[in-house]
């Protein structure tokens, strides 16, 4: 039964995940994935944020950090903007999805948009960043408090 639920969630999200370009506006206004169970993180103290994990393949270091919704965050040469971050209702299987726009700012080169779309915490390979130096994945959507400094692991 759980397999069928996961399949239904993935099937609903594939259409949204395959549309990798945001609407033509200055700030992305992502359409929510077609899943009635997804909602914004409940209000509480802190800032609505996506908890992300980045891997620098050159140094083999991972970093966990919070990226506030609607603001840009840097990871190496990447500029990550979180357009929205959603979680499943408590009755449904746990899931976090974030709409990310990722731009690479390599020194001496023009900026390059690498990714714009929904990333799913439960299935990172469904909609992944394809980059030679960095890997990035969504861990959860939270109300982040305090410092958002990356922590090395």
Mean pLDDT of the chain: 78
Mean pLDDT value of segment 117-139: 89
What does the alpha-carbon distance between residue 12 and residue 113 come to, in Å, rounded to a whole number?
25
Residue 35: name the closest of 63, 3, 7 by CA: 7
pLDDT at 32: 66
| pLDDT tens digit sequence for 24-41 | 333 444 666 667 777 787
**Position 136 pLDDT exceeds 50:** yes
For the chain, the domains span: 2-21+35-146
What does the alpha-carbon distance between residue 138 and residue 153 come to, in Å, rounded to a whole number?
16
């Amino acid at each position: 039964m759980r397999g069928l639920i996961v399949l239904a969630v993935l099937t609903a999200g594939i259409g949204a995940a395959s549309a990798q370009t945001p609407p033509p506006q200055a700030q992305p206004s992502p359409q929510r994935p077609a899943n009635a169970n997804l909602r914004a993180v409940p209000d509480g103290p802190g800032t609505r944020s996506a908890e992300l994990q980045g891997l620098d393949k050159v140094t083999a270091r991972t970093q966990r950090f919070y990226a506030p919704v609607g603001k840009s965050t840097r990871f190496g040469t990447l500029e990550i903007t979180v357009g929205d971050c959603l979680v499943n209702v408590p009755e449904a299987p746990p899931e976090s999805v974030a709409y990310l726009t990722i731009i690479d700012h390599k020194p001496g080169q023009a900026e390059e948009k690498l990714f714009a779309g929904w990333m799913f915490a439960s299935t990172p390979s469904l909609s992944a960043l394809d980059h030679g130096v960095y890997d990035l994945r969504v861990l959860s959507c939270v109300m982040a408090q305090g410092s958002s400094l990356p922590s090395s692991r």
